Amino acid sequence: MNQEDKRGKNKASVKNFEAMRKFAETYAKRSDTYFCSDPSITTAVIEGLAKHKEELGAPLCPCRFYEDKEAEVKNTYWNCPCVPMRERKECHCLLFLTADNPFVGTAQELAEVAVDYDS
């Protein structure tokens, strides 16, 4: 990885983070959903999706525990947007929120904030 591609410890490359940011913004607009009112949550979820895309080849939901991540990627159920999101607009990561969610913000574009990961 080039030095210019590094964004910090335990973070995805610039390329993968930007790809997931663009996906999330486009999907929020297309699905008439909004990001969380706390931009650190949105940034962290997009970071997790980007890391999984980098490591696993697919944006596996970062908010769940998996016994076997590779098997879950192949299953596709939890690949973002996951089946509950596509079918019922239910995103337990708080990435894509409907207007009636108590944590909903007004943004459909990322206001990236610094989020550090120590481990």
- Between CA 33 and CA 93 the distance in angstroms is 13
44 by Cβ neighbours in 10 Å (0-12 / 13-18 / 19+) ranks as buried
Q: Which of 36, 61, 63, 80 is catalytic?
A: 63
Cα end-to-end span (Å), the chain: 19
102 by Cβ neighbours in 10 Å (0-12 / 13-18 / 19+) ranks as exposed
Position 43, amino acid: T
Residue 36 annotated among the catalytic residues of the structure = no
Residues catalogued as catalytic: 63
